[in-house]
Amino acid sequence: MASAAPAAKPDDFVAQLEAANLHPLWDRFRTITPVRPQAADPPFLWRWRDIEPFTERAVSEVPINDVERRALILVNPAFGGDTVTTSNLIGAFTVLDPGDRARPHRHTFAAIRFATRAAGAATIVNGRRCEMQDGDLILTPPMCWHGHINESDHRIVWFDAANIPLVRTLDANFFEPGDPSSNQFWQVDDGDEKLWAESGLAGADAAPAPAHSPKYRYPGEAARRLLAALPAGTDGARTLRYTNPATGGAVMPALDCYAVRLPSGKPTRPRRVTCNMICLVVSGSGQSSVGEHTFRWTQNDVFSIPHWNFVSHTASGGDADLFIVSDRSAFERLDLFREEYQ
Ligand SMILES: [Fe+2]
């Protein structure tokens, strides 16, 4: 009588499953369901004093008509050479000389500009002219035509951010170039932007709101006024969210913007969140502890807060203002947003 075949060893079974294009959950469980998020990137600081010389070179060496955009993207080397600032997000600086036009285009990723030294520039968004003054936030929501022009007599710089890495992960990027020779694109006034310029007022017969804010320009002057009036929040800072006036929610489904005023000398209460943030120092100086890292920063420096790192900010020598761009609204829509305080 033939003896029974020996039972397959567990490892053999796994190998046989793999050969059959099957994975046993019991073997992969810890890999595919970690007990907490673990960002691939450590926090990172990009100093303006290191970036600025490259913006000067970019203007002299890269003709605006030869490129889609003259932007220098902030890259964390932890992403192995991929063009990523922190998960789901990129931050960048764009520089335009007098007369430069960054040609029209549109795309499915969402983007914003924050005017650091951009007075005299304008961004055209879907046929509306959005002037850029210091501290203004300009949205270019998904599939809205947009182009930029510097009509001033001086070089201008602004901070950009976009959710390109997220849209690449989803493989949902579509891109359409506009007509670079069209003069008509630029010959517009503020148009329907007027419909959303008055806080708390909206046309009663306004069309149903799209997924993103119908308002594209958020003046810095208004943000600064509200920051001065706001009470301190749970972490001790005054924080405002830029909102879609038709819904009260985030400005875009997958890109979310905030402004923060930090009180001088008082660390904010450590907090961590599941979403990712890029912080631009708008004014003042200070330091931030992000996870195990501590950065000292000053105006126009940028640092990342990768997800699930405790962060505490401290302004020094006076209040400091931060502009923060985040993927929080995407996390909220997926019911993945969590926060914790220490
Ligand atoms: Fe664009």
Distance, CA 277 to ligand 1 centroid (Å)?
A: 20
**How many C-beta atoms lie closer than 10 Å to residue 49's C-beta?**
9
- 68 CA distance to ligand 1 middle (Å): 8
Task: Using the mean position of ligand 1's atoms as its centre, give its distance from the Cα of residue 106 in Å.
Answer: 6
Contacts of 290 (CB under 8 A, 6+ apart): 43, 303, 304, 305, 306, 309, 310, 311
C-alpha 62/C-alpha 50 separation (Å) is 19
Ligand 1 centre to CA of 91 (Å) is 13
Dist CA 215 CA 202 (whole Å): 11
Ligand 1 mean position to 167 CA, how many Å? 14
CA of 200 from ligand 1 middle (Å) equals 29
Give the model confidence (pLDDT) of 62-98 as tens digits: 888 888 889 999 999 999 999 999 999 999 999 999 9
- Match 């010959």 to its residue by tokens: 187
Percentage of residues in the chain having pLDDT higher than 70: 96
- Its pTM surpasses 0.85: yes
Token code pair at residue 302: 């940028």
Mean pLDDT of the chain: 94
CATH architecture of 45-196+210-341: Sandwich (2.60)
**Cβ(86)–Cβ(77) under 8 Å?**
no
Domain ranges across the chain: 45-196+210-341
Using pLDDT thresholds of 50, 70 and 90, give the confidence band for residue 30. confident
In the chain, DSSP assigns E strands to 45-46, 71-74, 90-96, 101-107, 111-117, 121-125, 128-132, 137-140, 146-150, 156-162, 175-177, 217-218, 238-241, 256-262, 271-273, 277-290, 293-297, 302-305, 311-326, 339-341
Across the range 126-133, mean pLDDT stands at 95
**pLDDT score, position 302:** 98
CA–centroid distance, 146 to ligand 1, in Å, is 7
Phi, psi of 295 (to 5 degrees): -115, 135
- Max CA separation in the chain (angstroms): 98
The predicted pLDDT at position 21 comes to 97
Q: What is the pLDDT of residues 263-297, one digit of tens each?
A: 999 999 999 999 999 999 999 999 999 999 999 99
Ligand 1 center to residue 241 CA distance, Å?
Answer: 23
| Ligand 1 center to 1 CA (angstroms) | 76
> Ligand 1 centre and the CA of 107: distance in Å?
7
How remote is the CA of residue 76 from the centroid of ligand 1, in Å? 21
* Ligand 1 geometric centre to CA of 143 (Å): 9
CA of 95 to the centre of ligand 1 (A): 14
- Tokens 């932890």 found at: 78
In our burial notation (b when 16+ CB lie closer than 10 A, e otherwise), range 51-79 reads beeebeebbeeeebeeeebbbbbbbbebe
Report pLDDT digits (tens) over 301-329. 999 999 999 999 999 999 999 999 999 99
Alpha-carbon separation of residue 3 from 8, 64, 67, 83 (angstroms)? 15, 79, 74, 60
How much distance in Å is there from the Cα of 257 to the middle of ligand 1? 17
| Residue 1 in this model has a pLDDT that exceeds 50 | no
Task: Provide φ and ψ at 57, rounded to 5°.
Answer: -65, -40
Please, which residues have CB within 8 angstroms of residue 336's CB and are 6 or more apart in sequence? 274
